[in-house]
Structure 1
């Protein structure tokens, strides 16, 4: 594709430079790599206290910010913006945009789709969102089920307005099959940068967070939100250390459940067997993967599971909750175990089985590393380019 003209692409994603979560991180990574390949990327996003004005991301990606409101339970990160259609049209015209790519289904996505259609600009929607990401914050299935239905109807209405729809996995396409009526659909993994995510030194991490030495470390990476079910991992710790006393659990991430989870740790009396890292830098994240012996994802809902790919690229065996709403289960293929969702005793059994068997743990880690090569992010970016160019030829 090097001989084709480079494109001007508008990525529409509230909080893209502010929020630490999979869809936002994926958008940044794709955008940065597309920029490296010569394309021009702009962001349409929301204003926040830390980023109140227009500017640039890494001096290369122009960022247009609009006022909005803070989404509850987002740790002060996710501001939902309401850009005027007239202003969005002006931006698309001034920047000579070829393709508009919406990431999350917010009002700015609706406005941008309408503005693009009025200008004859091709549009792509990315299906990164499950209703469970939002509704599991609410009490009881009586409330959750009808809201899930309404949210699906909204997604279907919104995505039908785009010229193409992208899912991160085949699982997501099957799970959200109702969204693709009369729609051109594609599957593109979020991918993993295998040049970046690989074994590295860990001394800096151990020193900064005063991590214990000579332990076997079990790592979780992600938000501390209900759908991630981190309480299941914490509840498993007493069962783990009773059979593998050298085990230590590391939690990398933050969220509104942090206080409750820390209280659970105190109630179980396991303070010496767990470390909460909180928000970490990109470099510290790779160190955390390198420092662990096993990666665990107890999450109920995942359309892919970027952290799983990152752990695999660092050569770690994985233990994943066998949830019917999680695509991450499909990563387990001779490189780890599944466990019954919310069953902390079963999780503990699987963790112990790997901790006490160095040979099995090593072989599964090698299998993870080999499988991760199938998800190299360069392949995903190339597929994204193919979709953009194909749309422009229609």
Structure 2
């Protein structure tokens, strides 16, 4: 049975602020289209964006800005503009509130709960309003819908907000990367941090770790891969720490260059405040590069096997720095984790992710 599927997400992969969440949804969308389903991806507009186009079988409609996308998408739903069999409503903090239209089944995709992020991104008043929408209103509006979470930690967080755990299916990220045998590991100790350059990614922790360790390891370098509005602040912090000669900001890079940089690095640093899963953990792991992350971030507790494929620390920049140091200076530990992480991440496949999504959507559409 071929479905007409409407995906609602505030960004697509070409958006300047796109990240792992967009990689997840776009990969699922293209996989579903390849299986014969009609897929409409409703998302926000941005400078230079094409308002409507079809890419690899997925029809993109880009209208409304960062916040305007939400009322416009809801209005289009109310008018039954897309007449979909099922709607995938991505709750990235802000809910689209699709069940209010009462026209078609809805599946709510949640990467992670944003309780810790609201105050970092917005002021006190807006953060309280956002958290109320996410923690109080959304569980009521979506009380009869199915949920998909990308990790067990997100499933637990949703349950803590009152969502029936029996209605939450976990569908992990996959990976389409392959090891780069021809890409040698750097001869000198090296770190990499990859992600959007925004406050909640806390890239400052990686910069501070570098500043503390460079005295012990004078040739230590850090590659910062990604773009975002917080870059100017990070550049200022680099200057303050006096580590200009050790840090390279690559900006947005191609998939090929990203994987080359991941393959060359000794350690992948993920100091993010919150992650639903941490797609880059798997992408780094394919190349045998272990990750250091915070257990309080949620998702990394599922994508990293502590002590085997990477290291998890509880909190604080000092603990993070010491974990990074242990991997940089202990060749045996790093080599052992490099081998284990390669085996661990090989179990995650995008085709399995797409297949589980297809089953979930067929089930949801069948209950209409």
Q: TM-score, normalised by structure 2?
A: 0.87
Shift of 1:168: 0.8
Select between 357-366 and 84-93 the one with higher mean Cα deviation. Answer: 84-93
Shift of 1:290: 1.2
| Separation in structure 2 between the aligned mates of residue 89 and residue 366 of structure 1, nearest angstrom | 54
Show the counterpart of 1:62: 59
Show the counterpart of 1:82: 72
Shift of 1:169: 0.9
Shift of 1:219: 0.9
The one-character-per-residue Cα deviations of 1:344-371 (angstroms, maximum 9, x if unpaired) are x332222222222222212101111111
| Separation in structure 2 between the aligned mates of residue 335 and residue 182 of structure 1, nearest angstrom | 28
The one-character-per-residue Cα deviations of 1:133-174 (angstroms, maximum 9, x if unpaired) are 33312457x98567534531133134325x311111111111
Q: Does 1:346 align with 2:336?
A: no
Q: Does 1:273 align with 2:246?
A: yes
Q: Which runs of 5+ in 2 are unaligned?
A: none
Q: State the secondary structure of the residue aligned to 2:347.
A: helix
- Equivalent pair of 1:238/1:268 in contact (CA under 8 Å): yes
Q: Does 1:100 align with 2:87?
A: yes
Q: State the secondary structure of the residue aligned to 1:245.
A: coil
Q: Does 1:134 align with 2:134?
A: no
| Separation in structure 2 between the aligned mates of residue 86 and residue 145 of structure 1, nearest angstrom | 28
| Separation in structure 1 between the aligned mates of residue 363 and residue 257 of structure 2, nearest angstrom | 39
Structure 1 segment 8-19 matched on structure 2, within 5 A: 8-17=4-13, 18=15, 19=17
Select the residue among 157, 179, 188 that pairs with 1:198.
Answer: 179
- The structure whose RCO (Cα within 8 Å, separation 6+) is larger is 2
Q: State the secondary structure of the residue aligned to 1:299.
A: coil
Q: Does 1:7 align with 2:8?
A: no
Show the counterpart of 1:306: 279
Q: State the secondary structure of the residue aligned to 1:92.
A: coil
- Equivalent pair of 2:194/2:224 in contact (CA under 8 Å): yes
Alignment RMSD (CA, Å):
2.8
Show the counterpart of 1:335: 309
- Equivalent pair of 1:81/1:107 in contact (CA under 8 Å): no
| Separation in structure 1 between the aligned mates of residue 12 and residue 129 of structure 2, nearest angstrom | 29
Q: State the secondary structure of the residue aligned to 2:82.
A: helix
Shift of 1:39: 2.2
Shift of 1:88: 6.3
- Equivalent pair of 1:200/1:287 in contact (CA under 8 Å): no
Shift of 1:197: 4.3
| Separation in structure 1 between the aligned mates of residue 300 and residue 8 of structure 2, nearest angstrom | 26
Q: State the secondary structure of the residue aligned to 1:82.
A: helix
Shift of 1:126: 0.3
| Separation in structure 2 between the aligned mates of residue 282 and residue 351 of structure 1, nearest angstrom | 25
Structure 1 segment 138-177 matched on structure 2, within 5 A: 138=122, 144=127, 148-160=131-143, 163-177=145-159
Q: State the secondary structure of the residue aligned to 1:296.
A: strand
Q: State the secondary structure of the residue aligned to 2:29.
A: helix
Q: Structure 1's 124 and 80: CA in aligned 2 closer, same or farther, altered over 3 A?
A: closer
Q: State the secondary structure of the residue aligned to 1:265.
A: helix
Aligned length: 361
Shift of 1:106: 8.1
Q: Structure 1's 266 and 348: CA in aligned 2 closer, same or farther, altered over 3 A?
A: same
Q: State the secondary structure of the residue aligned to 1:136.
A: helix
